[in-house]
Structure 1
């Protein structure tokens, strides 16, 4: 693989404050799923989460620091690393940990300050100054993790009419109308569950919320016509028990802190990563998508899987393992959805993977 360049790319974020290189660009083999490093750039500190523009020519990143910011980088010739379009733009919030493109804006979830920021996309893809900063309010029962709001995730719905934001500190999912980011409503999840990330079933009528403080997966009904989210039930991430992870997420092996959930393109399977146990759980989904059934739990291939990503062809799964400093990839059994580790790439303090 070292001498092969397919032209397909994976972009890997990492924590520079923990020894990461910043953004690693790797070539990707669509048949084997293998990654081969090509470039690194540390022009942005702690680029913990990335998003690629639809055309693939601009890469957006957060700067997960106390003086939080977002940046746009031009993806130029495959032989060179991405280069900044301009200086990072302040999100007017602390610790931005996730971002998404929607409604002509880049949206960031600012974990430390518990806010959500909208930055307009200018001509050429550069970022403008924030047009809106929404400050979440409230708290939850966990004495350390839920003293105040902690926005952790932003996700546009499949219709493009709504933005959903997930707040770990207040056990809530908030809904905004697009374009313009108009506050629309909020849904409370079980107190103390600590919702972290959200994804949609490919049909668009179900959403799945991964909870960090109580390691469960919450299935929700989504009504895009009214912008309404309705929780239907919870499924343990670890088969046979709840595997409580309610302490700080610096825990020892055996504690369970789910991080990410992804759903297959055909809607038959979902996968959830969990830190502490360092596992990936495979769920079988029925025709309705209402009842995820955990069918297997496998090793993530490293330690502390912060992110989980499905390859564009749907045949491979990738785990960004922060503490072991690697990205592992898995071949997926087409009949059962169960992953089998196929390789790994050393990436110190890896935090996310996105594909071009």
Structure 2
């Protein structure tokens, strides 16, 4: 799903939300490419708690994960000014799935509650088919409240298309698996252990495909890693503090020193110049410059996220604006990005109850 530039075509944005917290499922909005403004068009509640969305390979198709005890995924296609479900939700084979990605003819899902990964077949029309192929994680971490067992929070196919990386908050590691493109079987290949107690949450690749950044939830740190696609090996090389206090402007409800910081989402600029991290608790968006090189992110500033509890952060298709899904304040706030400094500047917001993620259509 890219930026629709054909004459008369509408630029669509899809926003997930927690229906169990008052959200309306998936909201479809129109994007004004000149201003970045969003205007709500429609909603669909066909899937419970669609906490994360990903674009499919087929034009107009997207997938959503249902972060429920049962765990499911749904396929949708853009139709008019909204979405139509492509069949009923399909079980993913794990509880509390929090993330998903597309790898060829397979939809990959990360199962937070039960710990592990799943793979569902994508059919010719873009719909999903079971049964799920499941790979279970094992282990624990030093935090008894959050790391009593494995908690796969993120899954990502690497840029080469050869490997699947899963970020496990519960076991402080990133696992590398090989995906059988014919059967959907996930075979464990390697495991990269990060600092105990960090609670890794999400991962993003630098556009050169040789560096990956892991944002940690339990400690506000950014782990910089080298990625060897030939060997399927991830090597940590540095930990960079995510200083979360805003540089200026309003301070969150409690002073930053009195609240915990829970980094959530990470975005890397396609030109490789900046990294942005959303931080819940302190409710900030932190900017890092990569001017010194991909392995040396340097914090250059932080701004208020425009709401409370920024769960997701997305860059628009023209790479001019950032969009924060602020779960607790129930809005999506957008920011103009300074092309020289990378610093975001608040430009507007759209009310979306219990917003969880943003996907450009």
- TM-score, normalised to structure 2's length? 0.91
Q: CA deviation at 1:43?
A: 0.8
Judging changes above 3 Å, is the alpha-carbon distance between structure 1 residues 18 and 202 closer, same or farther for their aligned structure 2 residues?
A: same
Q: CA deviation at 1:138?
A: 0.2
Deviations 1:233-281 (A, max 9, x none): 11111169xxxxxxxxxx9962100001101011000000000000000
**Does residue 84 of structure 1 match 2:88?**
no
Counterpart position of 2:126: 125
Counterpart position of 1:93: 94
Deviations 1:218-245 (A, max 9, x none): 00000111111000111111169xxxxx
Query: What is the alpha-carbon distance in structure 1 between the residues aligned to residue 297 and residue 131 of structure 2?
Result: 38
Counterpart position of 2:307: 302
Counterpart position of 1:23: 26
Q: CA RMSD in A?
A: 1.6
Query: What is the alpha-carbon distance in structure 2 between the residues aligned to residue 30 and residue 202 of structure 1?
Result: 24
Instruction: Say which of 34, 41, 44 aligns to 2:37.
Output: 34
Deviations 1:142-195 (A, max 9, x none): 010000000000011111111100000000101112334332111000000000
**Does residue 194 of structure 1 match 2:199?**
yes
Unaligned runs of 5+ in 1: 241-250
Query: What is the alpha-carbon distance in structure 2 between the residues aligned to residue 132 and residue 310 of structure 1?
Result: 31
Counterpart position of 1:164: 165
Q: Any conservation in 1 of the 2:244–2:279 contact (CA below 8 Å)?
A: no
- TM-score, normalised to structure 1's length? 0.93
Judging changes above 3 Å, is the alpha-carbon distance between structure 1 residues 316 and 6 closer, same or farther for their aligned structure 2 residues?
A: farther
3-state SS in 1 of match to 2:79: coil
Judging changes above 3 Å, is the alpha-carbon distance between structure 1 residues 28 and 192 closer, same or farther for their aligned structure 2 residues?
A: same
Unaligned runs of 5+ in 2: 1-7, 246-255
Deviations 1:82-135 (A, max 9, x none): 111111111111101101000310000010001100001112111111342011
Query: What is the alpha-carbon distance in structure 1 between the residues aligned to residue 244 and residue 53 of structure 2?
Result: 31
Q: Which runs of 4 or more aligned residues in structure 1 lie more than 2 Å from their structure 2 counterparts after TM superposition?
A: 178-182, 251-254
**Does residue 53 of structure 1 match 2:56?**
yes
Query: What is the alpha-carbon distance in structure 1 between the residues aligned to residue 155 and residue 161 of structure 2?
Result: 13
Query: What is the alpha-carbon distance in structure 2 between the residues aligned to residue 32 and residue 265 of structure 1?
Result: 21
